[in-house]
Amino acid sequence: MTEVQVCKASDIAEDGVLIVHIDDLEVGVVRHRGAYFAYRNHCPHQGGPVCEGVRMPKVVAVLGPDRGYVRSEFDESEVHLVCPWHSYEFNIETGVHAGDSKVRLQKFPVSERDGNVYVTI
């Protein structure tokens, strides 16, 4: 495993993403709630550029007393990375698909020190 400096910490705004190339890999480095997460920019569904998609809160259904659907709301406690090709959603902190925990993004360790961000491949 190799640790690679990918950018300065100031290069990624809060809730921003930076796409970098490390050897033959395209990696998305995301800054969320002050932490960094790095994923291969490849959706397991059909290979879309998942890290280039929108980042949005999880959508949850609000049910009435009869358990019938009332409306949808955002759950700000969980943010998703949404693939721009087919809208597959992944937890931004874990890389796990919102609907099937067996489907996940390829995740890489990230560290920050001395004002720089490093990804281990």
pLDDT digits (tens, 9 = 90+) for 35-93: 999 999 999 999 999 999 999 999 999 999 999 999 999 999 999 999 999 999 999 99
Does the pTM surpass 0.95? The reply is no
Percent of the chain having pLDDT more than 90? 98
> Is it true that domain 3-53+80-120 has CATH number 2.102.10.10?
yes
Domain ranges of the chain: 3-53+80-120
Cα distance from N-terminal residue to C-terminal residue, the chain: 5
**Is there a contact between 54 and 94 (Cβ–Cβ < 8 Å)?**
no
| DSSP 8-state class, residue 96 | B
The pLDDT of residue 1: 86
